[in-house]
Chains A and B, each alone.
Chain A
Amino acid sequence: DAMVIQNPRYQVTQFGKPVTLSCSQTLNHNVMYWYQQKSSQAPKLLFHYYDKDFNNEADTPDNFQSRRPNTSFCFLDIRSPGLGDAAMYLCATSRAKNNQPQHFGDGTRLSIL
């Protein structure tokens, strides 16, 4: 049974049109992460939440934002997607931050028209 669920699996949006990707987890983990993965590359961390504490990576573009309304759900908002934002977006969770395994969802593939 899927423990980190991402919806939708495929998302198409227009250049500049805001889009929201969602992630839910049944693991009751404290930490939720959002990664961007481009073709044939490693996942790149965008930001993470430790409970309600938001941590942004220094090189995450300003038009990427996130919300975590409760333990189970986390959203990735892209305010004005550009062509370079087309990628796979992966959500992951871990029980805590220190030396704990991260469990990934199957991702949302975002296409920009």
Chain B
Amino acid sequence: GENVEQHPSTLSVQEGDSAVIKCTYSDSASNYFPWYKQELGKGPQLIIDIRSNVGEKKDQRIAVTLNKTAKHFSLHITETQPEDSAVYFCAAKGGANNLFFGTGTRLTVIP
């Protein structure tokens, strides 16, 4: 089955700096890669996703890149703000059509 690894597990950045979270996956059949933001006491919220026919996607301060050859994808947040502080999960959808989540990254943006 699919195995998704996510790094780092914790990340602290100064407000205004960029944050990068990286994930790798194992199943070459995976073709859908969403990113979720989870705030304390809430469910995961989809913030951006990318499909395998695209190498990069951007939505305002958030961008995701995908390298299918290397089987890795990354989340980039620019101009970070305190409200970006949360746990971020990457995920990959494999041939079984189930979402496989990474282990999460706790992002802290220091004002």
**Which residues of A does B touch, CB under 8 Å?**
4, 6, 40-43, 45, 57, 90, 92, 97-99, 101-107
CB neighbours (8 Å) of B45 from chain A are 104
User: Contact: B43 with A42, CB < 8 Å?
Assistant: no
A42 touches B34 (CB 8 A): no
**In the complex, which residues of chain A have a beta carbon less than 8 angstroms from the beta carbon of B49?**
101
Q: A42-B89, A99-B51 are in contact. List 6 more A-B contacts (CB 8 A).
A: A40-B104, A41-B103, A41-B104, A101-B34, A101-B46, A106-B43
* Chain B residues whose CB sits within 8 angstroms of the CB of A99 once the complex forms: 31-32, 51, 93
How many residue pairs bridge A and B at CB < 8 Å?
A: 43
B residues in contact (CB < 8 Å) with A: 31-32, 34, 36, 41-46, 49, 51, 89, 93, 97-99, 101-104
The answer on a CB contact under 8 Å between B44 and A90 is yes
**Complex CA–CA separation, A54 to B86 (angstroms):** 33
- Across the interface, do B46 and A42 meet the contact criterion of CB distance under 8 Å? no
Say yes or no: B98 contacts A42, CB within 8 Å: no
Closest to B6 in A: A42
Contact of A98 among B34, B43, B97, B104 (CB under 8 A): B97
Q: Is the CB of A43 within 8 A of B44?
A: yes
Q: Once the chains are docked, how many angstroms separate the CA of A92 from the CA of B46? A: 11
Query: Which residues in A have their C-beta under 8 angstroms from that of B89?
Result: 42-43
- Give bound CA distance, A98 to B99, whole Å: 10
Q: How far is the CB of A111 from chain B (nearest CB, A)?
A: 14
In the bound complex, CA of A43 to CA of B46 (Å): 14
Contact B101 A102, beta carbon cutoff 8 Å? no
Given A45-B99, A99-B31, A106-B42 contact (CB < 8 Å): yes
